[in-house]
């Protein structure tokens, strides 16, 4: 039988992993600059967590989750997104009692959704996400947006526009929910079955419908921003003011609602027209979710966050943005005795922090030089019978092509000096 990777999954080969490492390093560096600490949660959670937190009327919960019963009959789900798990861990570990009021964390890792695979979107995909919990402030909303914008700038993603909107507080959402139902009620017989199901449970989800998105009633639907309470409007106005003062370009997009039930107040997306992604592509997004922690059993705790699909970021990155800087040295033994000696030498070099490899095949010099070039080795260390006998190594600078004999006991000092260590 010829085994293949399951549909919607991708093997990251050694020729491609350098680009992943580069992306991960950039994201971690940005997180450090914003004093955001890493948090790691399980890849699977109890299914009830996502039903409760994400919303049982969302496409994620109703159509896309990988759920199964474990050996004791408990329903388990591979995580489809990262925020719910962070909220659960925040409550379970009583992080709300920590001395610092604002907790800023990030996560990075695989997520799972059963949907049609396409470029930059797989069934097993990877997300980089940030959550800021504990403080309800427009300043924290803007902090989140600035960090997301820093990511796209660091990756040199072209033609990115920040789209923002407000879903308001509970009072705003209730008023908007009523207005939506009044608007869509006369059109229900023209809308799909999913829209009819959502009408009573969560009419906001109708706006996310992929089947009826071109129906005239969608374009004429009420806008959330027209139903904001006084407090919600003040919050959103302050967000806009701060962005203006920071000279951040943005668009108020009244059609932006995001796809998960836990959002409230500010929501945002980064839309790119970079030709690598296609016009109007969403690179990442997020928003505020003030009721989520309480929904999963914790105290009332405001929160705001965002996430990027890392595969989408990879598509937008330049192909030469890799971490493949080459190795320090490639050891080239000629003969069995030299190979034994090379094993001892490479162990010492690695212990001193050098990145190095050696020939394990037993080829001639020509074949070994080809490997040295493929690994982008800075130096080739050649060892033959005479070198073993005289305890020396022929060190060849692969850039200048200069070569000289170096005593083994002086090799570490020699390489340190040459490499400016």
Rounded Cα distance between 333 and 331, Å, is 6
Contacts of 16 (CB under 8 A, 6+ apart): none
What's the Cα-to-Cα distance from 344 to each of 333, 339, 361, rounded to whole Å?
Answer: 12, 9, 17
% helix, strand, coil for the chain, step of 5: 40, 20, 35
Choose between 259 and 177: higher pLDDT.
177
Residue 22 above 70 pLDDT? yes
Residue 325 has pLDDT above 80, yes or no: no
In 41-66, which positions are buried (b, 16+ CB within 10 angstroms) versus exposed (e)? beebbebebbbbbbbebbbbbeeebb
Tens-place pLDDT, residues 56-80: 657 777 789 999 999 999 999 999 9
Mean pLDDT within 283-287 = 93
- Average pLDDT, integer, range 315-328: 75
Across the range 97-115, mean pLDDT stands at 96
What integer is the mean pLDDT of 337-342? 94
pLDDT digits (tens, 9 = 90+) for 89-102: 999 999 999 999 99
Confidence of residue 278 (pLDDT cuts 50, 70, 90): confident
Q: Is the pLDDT of residue 245 over 90?
A: yes
Q: Which two tokens stand for residue 206?
A: 């109708």
pLDDT of residue 56: 65
């Amino acid at each position: 039988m010829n085994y293949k990777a399951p549909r919607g999954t991708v093997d990251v080969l050694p020729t491609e992993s350098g680009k992943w490492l580069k992306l991960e390093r950039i994201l971690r560096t940005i997180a450090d600059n914003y004093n955001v600490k890493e948090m790691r949660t399980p890849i699977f959670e109890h299914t009830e967590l996502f039903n409760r937190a994400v919303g049982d009327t969302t496409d994620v919960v109703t159509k896309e989750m990988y759920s199964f019963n474990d050996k004791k009959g408990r329903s388990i789900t591979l995580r489809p997104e990262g925020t719910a798990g962070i909220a659960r861990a925040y409550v379970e570990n009583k992080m709300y009692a920590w001395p610092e009021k604002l907790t800023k964390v990030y996560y990075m890792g695989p997520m799972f959704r059963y949907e049609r695979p396409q470029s930059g979107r797989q069934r097993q995909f990877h997300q980089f996400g940030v959550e800021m919990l504990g403080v309800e402030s427009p300043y924290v909303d803007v902090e989140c947006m600035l960090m997301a914008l820093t990511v796209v700038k660091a990756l040199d993603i072209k033609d990115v526009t920040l789209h923002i909107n407000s879903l308001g507080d509970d009072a705003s959402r209730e008023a908007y929910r009523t207005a939506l139902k009044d608007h869509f009620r006369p059109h229900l017989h023209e809308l799909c079955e999913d829209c009819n199901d959502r009408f009573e449970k969560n009419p906001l989800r109708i706006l996310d419908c992929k089947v009826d998105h071109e129906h005239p009633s969608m374009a004429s639907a009420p806008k959330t921003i027209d139903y904001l309470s006084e407090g919600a409007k003040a919050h959103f106005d302050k967000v806009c003011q701060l962005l203006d003062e920071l000279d951040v370009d943005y668009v108020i997009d009244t059609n932006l609602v995001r796809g998960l039930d836990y959002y409230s107040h500010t929501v945002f997306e980064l839309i790119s027209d970079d030709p690598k992604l296609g016009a109007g592509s969403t690179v990442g997004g997020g928003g505020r979710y003030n009721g989520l922690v309480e929904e999963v059993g914790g105290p009332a705790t405001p929160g705001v966050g965002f996430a990027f699909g890392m595969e989408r970021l990879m598509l937008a990155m330049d192909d030469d943005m890799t971490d493949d800087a080459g190795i320090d040295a490639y050891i080239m033994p000629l003969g069995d005795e030299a190979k034994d000696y090379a094993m001892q030498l490479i162990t010492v070099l690695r212990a001193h922090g050098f990145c190095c490899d050696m020939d394990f095949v037993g080829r001639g010099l020509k074949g070994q030089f080809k490997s040295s070039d493929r690994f982008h080795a800075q130096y080739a260390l050649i060892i033959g019978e005479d070198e073993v006998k005289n305890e020396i190594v022929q060190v060849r600078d692969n850039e200048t092509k200069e070569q000289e004999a170096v005593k083994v006991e002086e090799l570490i000092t020699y390489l340190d000096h040459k490499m400016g260590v």
